[in-house]
Amino acid sequence: MEIVFAGFGGQGVLTAGLITAEMALENGKNVTWMPAYGPTMRGGKAYSVVKYADGIIGGPDMEEIDILVAMNEPSLEYAAYLKEGGLIIANTNNVSEDAPIDSKFRVIRIPCLTLAQKAQNPKAANIVAIGAMIKACGLFPEEQAKAVLRQIFVDKGKEKYTAMNEAAFMEGYQAV
């Protein structure tokens, strides 16, 4: 499984990748997480690549993407690496409805920021996207995913955010 989270710096695409990686690890998979860094991040572009598998994982960088989470419109350029029949989750707060997307891909359009605001957690648009992705693709069991999400923030000493983050996750989960 190869997932790319892409967006502006500040949209939490690195964290989204990390959270997904932790979920995959909890699920007993081998995992790699790879951030775009340095020159590739110029102009505020950011992405992270998560790969997981039962066996050995190849290179950590983008090769053949299964799921592209596009938090903004420029991120659609990575569709060039998307497998035929691959899924794009487009954050409609930053990706316009008429943005050109090849019909060979599946698309789910959800307003991640709007839903995050609805959950009183405007910084968690990335977690909304994760919720939508997990539901749409059945990646991990809901309870397991939520438990990992909780644990990540407990480990960071940010326990007070766990309920807000779970609310954001559920907004995404229920939106598809």
Partner 1 sequence: MRKMWKGNHAIAEAAMRAGCQFYAGYPITPQTEVSEYLSYRMPELGRRFLQAENEMAAVYMIFGAYACGMRSMTSSSGPGFSLKQEGIAYLCANNYPAVLVNVQRWGPGLGTLDSSQTDYLRDTRGGGNGDYRVIVYAPNSIQETVDLMYNAFDVAEKYRNPVEILSEAALGQMMEPVEFPPFKERTEDLGWTFDGTDRPHGRIDNPQKPDALRAKVAAITANEQRWENYRVEDADYVFVAFGLPSRTCRNAVDQLREQGVKVGLIRPITVWPFPYKAFEEIPDTVKGVISVESTDAGQLIEDVALAVKKMCPGNVPVYGLFSGQKIPKTKEIVAFFGGVRSGETKEVF
Distance between CA 159 and CA 86 in Å, rounded? 35
Smallest gap from Cβ 136 to partner 1, in A, equals 24
Distance between CA 90 and CA 103 in Å, rounded? 14
Q: Which of 6, 13, 16, 21 binds partner 1 (CB under 8 A)?
A: 21
Contact 5, 128 (CB under 8 A): no
Smallest gap from Cβ 38 to partner 1, in A, equals 3
Q: Which of 22, 71, 95, 115 binds partner 1 (CB under 8 A)?
A: 22
Which parts of 53-92 interact with partner 1 (CB under 8 A)?
56-61, 63-64
**25 lies in the site for partner 1, by CB under 8 A:** yes
Contacts by residues 90-98 (CB-CB < 8 Å, ≥ 24 positions apart)? 91/7, 91/125, 91/129, 93/125, 94/7, 94/8, 94/11, 95/70
Beta-strand ranges (E) seen in 133-174 are: none
Smallest gap from Cβ 165 to partner 1, in A, equals 18
**4 lies in the site for partner 1, by CB under 8 A:** no
CB atoms within 10 A of CB 45: 17
Written as six digits, the tokens of 75 are: 């991120």
Smallest gap from Cβ 17 to partner 1, in A, equals 9
Distance between CA 127 and CA 69 in Å, rounded? 11
Cβ proximity to partner 1: between 58 and 141 the closer is 58
Nearest alpha-carbon partner for 17 in 167, 146, 127: 127
Cβ proximity to partner 1: between 48 and 91 the closer is 48
Cβ proximity to partner 1: between 58 and 122 the closer is 58
**157 lies in the site for partner 1, by CB under 8 A:** no
Contacts with partner 1 by CB under 8 A lie at 18, 21-22, 25, 30-35, 37-39, 56-61, 63-64
